[in-house]
Amino acid sequence: MDILKGKTTAAEVARQHDLTVSEVERWIDEAQRNMENGFKSLPRDIREQYESELRDTKEALGEAHVQIHALKRFKRLLDEDENS
């Protein structure tokens, strides 16, 4: 944050933390890109993304529930067959 505020340089931070200047500069570039993307996102876009992920998660949960139910039923049938 001090680099972005102009309080220090990438070279000074790299030296303090035993990093290369290119590593620090790469992190700065990534941070700036992420901040720009964050400002560009509209709350509606974020909500749509959240709702889409929620639908996908619910669908996966439903599929897992069906698989568990089928496996339990299959196990019961195997147990009954062994007892016969």
Tens of pLDDT, residue by residue, the chain (84 residues) = 888 889 999 999 999 999 999 999 999 999 888 887 777 666 777 888 899 999 999 999 999 999 999 999 999 999 988 887
One domain, residues 79 and 50: yes
d(CA 64, CA 77): 20
If one counts the domains in the chain, the total is: 2
One domain, residues 8 and 18: yes
One domain, residues 1 and 36: yes
Instruction: Tell me the residue range of the domain where 78 lies.
Output: 42-84
Record the pTM.
0.44
Residue whose entry in the numeric block shows the structure tokens 């974020």: 46
3 state SS of 78: helix
One domain, residues 35 and 71: no
One domain, residues 16 and 53: no
3 state SS of 19: coil
Q: Supply the pLDDT for residue 7.
A: 93
One domain, residues 14 and 50: no
Q: Which residues contact 31 (CB under 8 A, 6 or more apart)?
A: 4
